[in-house]
């Protein structure tokens, strides 16, 4: 499976903020949401190289079960 999506820096940060590990850290009180957003933005910004948007490709295998006859 491969899917390419165009994101702005802020859009990608917002998307990553919806991941369960980020939500768990914030809701569990381990991290402050604003601090996590800032940390993500700082870490991701170099990949945008001053571009307004970047294409991010998601690759993953698709696993399924099939009944053996």
How large a percentage of the chain has pLDDT more than 90? 86
* Res. 30: pLDDT tops 90: no
Q: Look at residue 8 in the predicted model and tell me its pLDDT.
A: 97
Q: Look at residue 32 in the predicted model and tell me its pLDDT.
A: 93
Q: Look at residue 28 in the predicted model and tell me its pLDDT.
A: 92
Q: What is the pTM of this model?
A: 0.78
pLDDT in tens, 35-57: 999 999 999 999 998 899 999 99
Q: Look at residue 46 in the predicted model and tell me its pLDDT.
A: 94
**Environment class of 7 (CB within 10 Å of its CB; exposed 0-12, middle 13-18, buried 19+):** middle
Distance of CA 42 to the CA centre of its chain: 14
């Amino acid at each position: 499976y491969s899917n390419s999506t165009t994101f702005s820096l802020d859009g990608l940060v917002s998307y990553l903020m919806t991941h369960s590990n980020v939500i768990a850290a914030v809701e569990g009180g381990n991290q402050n949401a604003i601090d996590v957003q800032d940390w993500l933005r700082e870490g991701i910004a170099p990949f945008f190289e001053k571009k307004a948007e970047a294409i991010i490709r998601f690759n993953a295998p698709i696993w399924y079960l099939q009944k053996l006859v």
